[in-house]
Amino acid sequence: MNAPLTIGNPQLLGLGTPMPPHRLPQDLAHLNAKRILGDRYPDVERLTKSFEDAGIVKPLFGGAV
C-alpha cells in the first residue's frame, strides 16, 4: 500500500514585480482615451477624471497603445 501524500506548509520561493514595457504620460493617456472611447462613451471625460483623482501619473500597459 502506498503512503499517503503529505503536503507541507506552502512557502514563497520568489517574488517578482515586472514593469510593463509601455508607459504613457497621463496627458497622452487622457487624449488616447477620448480618441478611442469618445464615440462609444459620451461621458469619457468623467470616466478619465478617475485617473487624476487616483493620483495615477504614468499608467502602465502590457501592450502597445
Domain assignment of residue 29, yes or no = yes
Q: How far apart are CA 16 and CA 52, in angstroms?
A: 27
Domain assignment of residue 5, yes or no = no
Domain assignment of residue 17, yes or no = no
Running DSSP on this structure, what letter comes out for residue 57? Answer: S
Strands (E), 1-65: 22-23, 60-61
Q: What is the pLDDT of residues 13-62, one digit of tens each?
A: 888 877 777 777 878 878 888 888 888 888 888 877 777 777 766 666 66
Count CB neighbours of 64 within 10 A.
7
Q: 61: which strand partners?
A: 22
Domain assignment of residue 1, yes or no = no
Which structural domain range is residue 35 located in? 22-61
Answering whether pTM is above 0.85, one says: no
Q: How many domains does the chain have?
A: 1
Domain assignment of residue 43, yes or no = yes
